[in-house]
Amino acid sequence: MSAGKTDSKAIIPAHVAVIMDGNGRWAAERGLPRLAGHKAGAEAVSRCLRAAIHRGVKYLTLYAFSSENWQREPTEVADLTSLLRFYLRHKVAELHSEGVRICFIGDLARFDVSLREELARAETLTRNNGRITLLLALSYGGRGDIVQAARRLAQAVQQGDLKPDQITETLFADKLWTAGVPDPDVVVRTSGEFRLSNFLLWQSAYAELVFLDVFWPDFNEGHFATVLDTYARRERRFGARPSV
């Protein structure tokens, strides 16, 4: 079926991944502190999740805190982690009641022990839910993800459990932090920027890319619908010849 003949209502991506960008600029335009932008961005997360559930998306991955974000001012890092703690303590039970499974991907060891324990509790509580899987990328970097997978495979080879010629793309993917999760069908970035910014580099090899000129705190159900409509109108060929 050609792109022009696609029924946009019939094609829903299984996995949507979002680079949530623009919180700081949204706050700056309003003369507000950056924390206000992050709080408004958290409300946009709720709208995005509701829209994903409503439209039947099964996996939603949100780039919440990158490995590079550790280089920000200590006060902003503290604000971000405090905001994360707040939502873990006050929103997880609600998400659990709505059938949301919560997973965290990234170098979580960089967070303190108490926060890691809260992350683990959220995963344990919701692990059997099947309405939608919400993956939050925390302390995440695509290059770091690839490196840690390579190290795990190298260790298996060194220990004699694996031969180098047994390493396949499938086996490599199973060592990534997203193991067991299908690759994203579409990657969205807000704020008008046109970069992946070290997000899901391996996993996004064949993802459709959608860039929106809207700051993340302003993201709503209408923008999500635009993403799905844009995705449905594209023809995914995965390197094959186009249909006629």
Active site residues: 21, 69
User: Facing residues of 137 across strands?
Assistant: 63, 105
Q: Check whether 25 is labelled as a binding-site residue.
A: yes
Sign of CA dihedral 176, 112, 17, 51: positive
Tell whether residue 189 is among the known ligand binding residues: yes
Q: Is 21 annotated as a binding residue?
A: yes
Going by C-alpha positions, the residue among 135, 137, 149, 133 that lies closest to residue 196 is 137
- On whether 67 is known to bind a ligand per the annotation, the reply is yes
What's the angle, vertex CA 193, arms to CA 32 and CA 144, rounded to 5? Answer: 100
Residue 197 is labelled as binding a ligand? yes
Using CA atoms, how far residue 8 sits from 2, 12, 27, 226, 234, in Å, is 12, 8, 35, 10, 9
Does the annotation list 236 as a binding residue?
Answer: no
Three-class DSSP category at 42? helix
Residue 151 annotated as binding site: no
Category of 139 on φ-ψ map: left (φ > 0), alpha (ψ -120 to 50) or beta: left
Structural contact between residues 50 and 134, judged by C-beta atoms closer than 8 angstroms: no
**Annotation-wise, does 196 bind a ligand?**
yes
The annotation status of 26 as a binding-site residue, yes or no, is yes
Binding residues for Mg(2+), as ranges, are 21, 208
Binding residues for substrate, as ranges, are 22-26, 34, 38, 66-68, 70, 72, 189, 195-197
Binding residues, as ranges, are 21-26, 34, 38, 66-68, 70, 72, 189, 195-197, 208
